[in-house]
Structure 1
Amino acid sequence: MGRLFTKNKALYLITDRLISGLTHTEIARQAIAAGVRAIQLREKHMSKREIFKEALSLIKLFSKYRVLFIINDYVDIALAADAHGVHLGQEDMPLREARRILGKDKIIGISTHSLREALEAEREGASYIGFGPIFHTTTKDAGEPKGIDALREIKKYIKIPVVAIGGIAPENARQVLEANADAIAVASGILSRYGSTPGGDIKTNAKRFLKIIKEVRRT
């Protein structure tokens, strides 16, 4: 995959039907139209059969636009659907076992909440880490915010890409990127912010973030 989070993939959208009121495919279509090229399918309320069908539908769409496609939690679905990889939490399948199943070429991201967890993920062969929550978030029960200083500290020691996550909005995205995050993972900041209709204006919301990324990465 080369460098994972090049400028056009530095905005990493996490889909959420409950926040947006839209299907994963409709979320993806609107995000792609805005220029988003890294998307994680996160679904906690469907059966695995239904999630697999969603993944196959998204694969067809993403192949046209060279979208980086990651599936949350489910190693088997990522393998069967031929997604680019999987993102795992601390309580999910161990990284080494996931790597054995997926092979050396698939991407495996790991959620981390401390330097110890980040170092362990890197040592065990993670392709990237998610670190956070940077700010307070209501998207999931992610614990106390870590803050920008903790992100800077992580970046001092971790050589693989670091994706900042948690409460990231247009108002604070710049400082996250200036702390050298390789990418920012966003769900509610794109899917619900500023919108008066179900899903809000996903294209407008995504473009706000992409504009900030372009400005920061240019300097």
Structure 2
Amino acid sequence: MIMYMYKENRNSDILCITNRKLCREDFITRMRKIAAAHPAAVVVREKELLEKEYMELAEKILNICREQETVCILHSFPEAALELGCDSLHLPLPVLMKMEPGKRQSFRVLGASCHSVEDAVLAEKLGCTYITAGHIFDTDCKKGLPGRGLDFLKNVCAGVSVPVYAIGGISPANISKVREAGAAGACVMSGLMVCEDPEDYLQEFKRQE
């Protein structure tokens, strides 16, 4: 699991990856519902925003997650995370590689996006406490690019000692295969952004255990 969690989060192995453009309702309203449903963590992605815009949005979501005692992981902007008092950060691997060791050590939870076993091994060496690996299954988010599959996921999980979260096309229908491959859990974006009830949706994943 993520390196540390509030007690309410331990019943979920799903990381919520945000994408406000997919929401069918007010994004902050949706984030309140998701945080209250207690996924393993909320990763505030929104990668097309400039740092100032991102920081303004991240502060709102961070406060919501703190109220609900749900882990919040910020994305892409280390300085913004530090200024907001957030010690959980996710980075693309190339960005992580350029980050100074002292700054990496400022984060209790540090994750990176990995697309090969070599990526995963490097991320672990750079101090990551977890990684995401993908994309695993075909997904509309990566149209035209076939998923790397479960064998890829197994190899990544076998290659590192930190928790691996699968990403890409994960749903309640295939989460058991992801777990069987050795993953600590999975990342879900579109499902949690558009489902009718985030709590019910997370329970669907739980029922597949």
TM value normalised by structure 2 = 0.86
Q: C-alpha distance in 2, partners of 1:2/1:47?
A: 27
Deviations 1:102-147 (A, max 9, x none): 5344321111111111111111211111101110122257943111
Task: Calculate percent identity across the aligned residue pairs.
Answer: 27
Question: Would you say 1:204 and 2:204 are equivalent positions?
Answer: no
Q: Could you tell me which residue of structure 1 aligns to residue 75 of structure 2? A: 72
Deviation at 1:40, TM superposition (A): 0.5
Residue deviations 1:62-91, cap 9 Å, x none? 122321111121111111112232111133
Which AA in structure 2 matches 1:203? E
Provide the residue aligned with 2:119 in structure 1.
Answer: 117
Conservation of the 8 A alpha-carbon contact between 1:130 and 1:165:
yes
Partner of 1:108: 110
Q: Deviations over 1:126-180 (max 9, x none)?
A: 1111101110122257943111111112222210111111110111111111222
Residue range with higher mean Cα deviation, 33-42 or 68-77: 33-42
1:142–1:74 CA distance, 2 compared to 1 (3 A): farther
TM-aligned CA distance change 1:22 to 1:90, over 3 Å = farther
Match of 1:27 among 18, 25, 30: 30
The 1:9/1:42 distance shift into structure 2, 3 A limit, reads same
The answer on whether the counterparts of 1:24 and 1:54 sit within 8 Å (CA) in structure 2 is no
Assess, with a 3 A threshold, how the Cα gap between structure 1 residues 131 and 53 changes in structure 2: closer, same or farther: same
- Structure 2, unmatched stretches of 5+, are none
Question: 1:27, 1:147 → 2: CA distance?
Answer: 30
Contact 1:70 1:85 in 2 (8 A): yes
Distance 1:142 1:185 in 2: 20
User: RMSD of the alignment, in Å?
Assistant: 2.5
Tell me, in whole angstroms, the C-alpha distance in 2 between the residues paired with 1:149 and 1:112.
15
- Note closer, same or farther for the CA distance 1:211–1:21 as it changes in structure 2 (3 Å cut): same
Shift in Å at residue 14 of structure 1? 0.6
Q: Is the 8 A contact 2:15 2:40 kept in 1?
A: yes
Match in the other structure for 1:177: 179
Unaligned runs of 5+ in 1: none
Which residue type is aligned with residue 128 of structure 1?
A: Y
- C-alpha deviation, 1:27, in angstroms: 2.4
How many residues were matched structurally?
Answer: 206
**Contact 2:135/2:166 (8 A) holds in 1:** yes
Whether the aligned pair in 2 keeps the contact of 1:112 and 1:118 (CA below 8 Å) is yes
What is the CA distance between 1:203 and its match in structure 2? 3.3
